[in-house]
Structure 1
Amino acid sequence: MQNELTHEGSTFINFRNYEFQDSRSPAFRWVDIKCLRFPRESVGDTELLAALIGHDQFRDDYAGGGVLLEGLRHGPYWVRAVSPDVYEAVGREMSDRILWEWANQFEDVPAELGTDLQREVFDRLAAAEQIYYLSELGDEAHHDWGGVHSDFHEFVLIDRSGGQITLLVAADD
């Protein structure tokens, strides 16, 4: 199945590109969104999650290295530590709350950033038929420099009617 996922594109929202009242607020916060298309034939969520984990686009350390085809890291974790069973199904309300609290943790986001987040993040969450949240995997799953992210929130959005799976990561580093 992983070979049947097609990367359609990515969106990167860098908080430093917006004007905050407190210049320390944006720090190094960002949202990275990777959209992949899957065939419409029916497969279960577990198979879709496994295909995503096995896809090249998943091999991103989110620390400036980008996607590495032979990469061993995914965010703060070793790729080998991530499997479909470490994702928790969550509702839209919970995912919205987690992301808005993270985005507004220092001060309310500027209006322009709020508009961009609504369009690129929250509208995608609203369209998803299923949302999964990557659980904290524990110290043994962190790679050798995995502590670079002070916050790391990962969601996988499945939109079966649109044939799309979206990897959404919001983090600080």
Structure 2
Amino acid sequence: MDNRLAHEESSFINFRRYVPDPKEHGYRWVDIKQLRFPAESVDDRGLLASLIGHEQFRDDYAGGGVLPDGLRHGPYWLRSITPDLYEFISQETAVQILWEWVDPLGDVSTELEADLQREVFARLAATDGIYYLRELGDEAIHDWGRVHDYFHEFVVIDRSAGRTTLIVAADD
């Protein structure tokens, strides 16, 4: 496991907390993991490689949590994920992807919007770079990986704070 990144904190936004009817976004959630990196850290691809090698990345996001010896990451086999699969995107594109996923009908509670702004969108605004994990295709999906209808993954790099943030927005 890579030791250049140190896990600082995690937060979790479960949409079920904000809606009376779980069928309306009740199975959507956002998982945020912050990791610190040293000032002399390598380039963005090197940071992505360090993140992929970190135990916090070994999360199936289906209730199992972080498994230090895990073989899965979200719907994918861990071995299928490389730094080259992350696409550099603009803040505007990241925000658009997330808002289209959050609520296609535009009906978001004030409390949920405030939590998303604090935990997700503020991090996207204070960044040097945002990377988005592309769809990897059927060969990368693990044995029960289709549990998620949607799986959006962003890696936010903030060099001035020496922090990278892994943001996973999905549903099940």
Q: Does 1:154 align with 2:141?
A: no
Partners of 2:22 and 2:65 in 1: CA distance: 26
Counterparts of 1:20-31 in structure 2, within 5 Å, are 23-31=22-30
What do the CA deviations read for 1:108-161 (whole angstroms, capped 9, x no partner)? 211110010001000000001100000000000000001000000000000000
Runs of 4+ in 1 over 3 A off after TM superposition: none
Deviation at 1:105, TM superposition (A): 2.5
* RMSD of aligned residue pairs (Cα, Å): 1.3
Equivalent in the alignment of 1:65: 64
Aligned pairs, how many? 172
Question: What is the distance in 1 between the residues matched to 2:26 and 2:19?
Answer: 12
What is the TM-score with the length of structure 1 in the denominator? 0.96
> Structure 1 CA distance, aligned partners of 2:52 and 2:74?
12
Counterpart-to-counterpart distance in 2, 1:124 and 1:50:
21
- 1:23 is displaced (CA, Å) by 4.7
C-alpha contact 1:59 1:79 (8 A) present in aligned 2: yes
Cα distance in 2 for residues equivalent to 1:8 and 1:90: 25
Cα deviation, residue 4, structure 1: 1.6
The runs of 5 or more residues in structure 2 that have no matched partner are: none
2:149 and 2:170 in contact (8 A); partners too: yes
Amino acid across the alignment from 1:135: R
1:43 CA drift (Å) = 1.2
Instruction: Name the CA distance, whole Å, in 1 between partners of 2:39 and 2:107.
Output: 39
Q: Which amino acid aligns with 1:124?
A: R
- Identity among equivalent positions (%) equals 66
Deviates most, 51-60 or 1-10: 1-10
Provide the secondary structure at the position in 2 that maps to 1:143: coil
When normalised by structure 2's length, the TM-score is 0.97
* Consecutive unaligned residues in structure 1, runs of 5 or more: none
Residues 25 and 107, structure 1, Cα contact 8 Å, conserved in 2: no
Residue in 2 aligned with 1:46? 45
